[in-house]
Amino acid sequence: MILILSTSELETSTDEVVVWLKKMKADFVRLNGDDIIDYFKFELFNDAPKFWIKDKINNREVSSDEIKIVWYRRKINNIADKVCKFKPNSIEDFQNVLGINSYHYDELIGLYEVLELSLQNVIWINKPTQKINKILMLLEAKKAGVNIPYTFIQNTSPLPINKYITKPIKEVKVFKDEFHYYPMYTSEPSEQKKSFFPSLFQEKIEKKYEIRSFYLDGDFYSIAVFSQQNENTKVDYRNIFGDKDVDISIHNSCAYTIPKSLEEKLKKLMNKFKLKSGSIDLIKGVDEKYYFLEVNTVGQFGNVSDIGKYNLEKKIAEKLIYYDN
Amino acid sequence: MIQKEKYIYLYTHCRTTRGESRSIIYDLEKEGYDFIPNSLHEIINRFNGYPIDEILMNFETDEKKIILGYFEFLIDKGFCFLSKNKIPITNTTEKYEYAEEILNCIIDVNKDSNHDFYKISTEINDIGIPYIQLRFFDKVTSDYLIGVLKKFHNTQCRHIELIVPYTISLDNKIENVLEINSRLQSVIYHSCKEEKVRRYGKGEIYYYKSVITDESHCGKNDPLFFTMNKRFHDLSIYANTCLFKKISIDKEGNIKNCPSLTSNFGNISTVSLSRALMKSEFKELWYINKEQVEICKTCEFRNICTDCRAYRESESLYSKPSKCNYNPITMKWGKVGD
């Protein structure tokens, strides 16, 4: 049986794969973050750990013994709000609620680790606990023979401006209010600051175009994004409307084939990190070299699929069924 | 000034279609088009991705200037771009695939209709239809609409569209209707006094003057209804852009491919949608594309224009849509009925 670990909201890509799985009459169960808190049993037997979950669609209990392949899409998000319904009235309360939420979140992470422990001998399209450190990734990419931008972290002035970009050492955070989302983008520091938090900087590569490559079990599906025509998106192509929505479809973009030699190097890199799938960000520099930026293991692939006409949703469904048999 | 040593590329989301008297070039992302001479259509398709100086070698001296002018136009308009080096762009021959057996469903309702919406929504859910259009010909109250929409609460469809006659009392309460089902994202009023568009939450409310009393209002061909996107274009090459993966329930409850067609596959009161779909003739018109339709096959608009097989000029399944008055030879739009 195929197990899909996902969330119920904002998962169009997963929804579409599920439609294919149904059409192909696959044996699968989709477990959204919220479902875990509704129904979960785990026992530590002498020989092996084992869990039971509920398949809501078919209204049946599924045990870990039945699962042969796991497609891990998303960890729970916002689920903490659903567990702790207390509305804070003071700053102290507010901080306690934050504490309770972060406790529940950690507990859920613990549950995912238990899921993983109970499914040691099955194939994972990516293990949730697989650590993807950006810096380590760059280091390994370099070892595999792929160009990377010169990278450093500092908090001493002067701030490197003009020739450098900055992005988080770990993950981007999205802030929101009633009306808008405020995601973080890769940007260029433009003015001097006396003091700043230790930040990651990278040499700004003059790019001809950006490449987003979806990797699935040895195969690469790439698109080129010509973001240079638009001032806003020169640094980060996701930043189309200044700082509003994230959507690359209105860009000039097209299906693209990366060279075999680059594929081989990237494949080595993905294997090194035991990644069966991921979205790889690359740049083709004006110097005609390919630069590796980073890998997103749980990123959306709808755009790449649509622009490149790759029908990735179908290909993923086929891949899951292949490993289930 | 164009540097002639550079390679010229047509963006993959830009396409050209050759017509009898002229061609068009269109952008499937920015949704715009321009007319180009047929000779330029040939040049683009023959020399896409070639260095400009190499292209020019194929032409006489006096032609070279004209061609460079064409290229400047194509680059200015954002259809083409230049590159110092060759770019490994993939021109895929793949087509978009759909897991869904049916992509959209039209349900027509007038004052004499007697649909069991609970049964309909259950059957729509069984098939997994993502888009539903509810088309009302006669005035309805907000309470009635809310009652109908509630029946669609548990379906997995992604988008519901409502076409309904405008009344002041309904418009006053349309917010209540929109809130009842989050999948209801657009309301289209017909029979309005003035035309406008209004946003409401995630959705949009359109006000149109046209009066829709039955299904026969449909099937018009007009630049207003041109669709420029990749999926539509892709489909236009091998299938019917209107009827492909569509199922309908007409005002009398008859299950059809489209309410305007005559072929009837049973009444929803006695036959299920899935059962109707099993009849082989149901999909008879799905793959009739514009390349096969008389006149349309010589028209430069054939990959962005919708195709109606219900209202045709003659008995032949391949005759021109009767509500189109464009002439690809003279390149002129006439009045309806010309």
Average pLDDT score over residue span B69-95: 87
Shared domain check, A211 and A283: yes
Give the nearest partner residue to B90 out of A255, A259, A317, using CB atoms: A255
Say what the pLDDT of residue A128 is: 81
Do A160 and A257 belong to one domain?
yes
Mean pLDDT value of segment A7-18: 82
A317 within domain boundaries: no
Give the CA angle between residues A203, A205, A209 to the nearest 5°.
155
Interface contact A255-B91, CB threshold 8 A: yes
Predicted confidence (pLDDT) at residue B249 exceeds the cutoff of 50: yes
A106 and A145 belong to one structural domain: no
Question: Hey, is A209 helix, strand or coil?
Answer: strand
pLDDT digits (tens, 9 = 90+) for A71-93: 998 766 656 566 667 778 889 88
Q: Which of A98, A125, A152 represents a domain boundary (last residue)?
A: A125
Residues A118 and A16 in one domain: yes
Q: Comparing C-alpha atoms, which of B92, B134, B130, B73 is closest to residue B259?
A: B134
- CA–CA separation, A305 vs B297, rounded Å? 30
Is there a domain that residue A273 lies in?
Answer: yes
Average pLDDT of span A167-188: 82
When pLDDT is cut at 50, 70 and 90, the band that residue A285 belongs to is: very high
Residue-level pLDDT at A283? 95
CA atoms of B205 and A300, how far apart (whole Å): 30
The enclosing domain of A180 has a CATH number of 3.30.470.20
pLDDT band at B224 (very low <50, low <70, confident <90, very high): confident
Tell whether A214 lies on the interface with B, counting CB pairs under 8 A. no
Asked if A53 and A119 sit in the same domain, the reply is yes
CA nearest A317 in B: which residue?
B99
User: According to the model, what pLDDT value does residue B34 have?
Assistant: 95
Instruction: Say whether both A95 and A147 belong to one domain.
Output: no
Among B10, B13, B31, B230, most A C-beta atoms within 10 A, so best to mutate, is B13
* Region B37-43 average pLDDT: 96
pLDDT tens digits, one per residue of B284-303: 999 999 999 999 999 999 99
Q: Is residue A181 part of a domain?
A: yes
Classify residue A56: in a domain, yes or no.
yes
Asked if the structure places residue A321 within a domain, the reply is: no
Interface test with B, best of A8, A211, A223, A309 (most B CBs within 10 A): A309
Whether residue A176 has pLDDT greater than 90: no
Rounded-to-integer distance, Cα B256 and Cα B254, Å: 6
Residues A88 and A213 in one domain: no
Query: Domains in chain A: how many in total?
Result: 2
Kindly tell me if the per-residue pLDDT of A47 is higher than 80. no
CB B44 within 8 A of CB B10: yes
Contact B11 A256 (CB under 8 A): no
In a domain, A308, yes or no: no
pLDDT of residue A179: 77
Element (H, E) at B274: helix B273-278
Residue where one domain finishes, among candidates A94, A125, A156: A125
Separation CA A301–CA B139 (nearest Å): 44
Chain A residues touching B234 at Cβ < 8 A: 309
Record: contact A254-B90, CB cut-off 8 A: yes
pLDDT band at A97 (very low <50, low <70, confident <90, very high): confident
H or E segment to which residue A138 belongs = helix A134-143
Domain containing residue A170: 134-296
Q: What does the pLDDT average to over B99-107?
A: 95
- Average confidence (pLDDT) over B188-201: 91
* Residue A107 sits in the same domain as residue A169: no
Which residue out of B14, B82, B89, B90 would a mutagenesis test of the A interface target, given it has the greatest number of A Cβ atoms within 10 Å? B90
Strand partners, A290: A284
Residues A111 and A211 in one domain: no
Q: What is the pLDDT of residues A205-260, one digit of tens each?
A: 988 889 999 999 999 999 998 875 544 445 554 444 433 333 333 457 888 999 99
Q: Pick B204 or A158 by higher pLDDT.
A: B204
Greater model confidence, A310 or A241: A310
The answer to whether position A117 is within a domain reads: yes
Query: How high is the ipTM of this complex?
Result: 0.81
For B101, nearest residue in chain A (alpha carbons): A23
**Are A91 and A147 members of one domain?**
no
User: Are residues A118 and A138 located together in one domain of the fold?
Assistant: no
A68 within some domain: yes
Residues A104 and A15 in one domain: yes
Tell which wins on pLDDT, B209 or B181. Answer: B209
Average pLDDT, chain A: 84
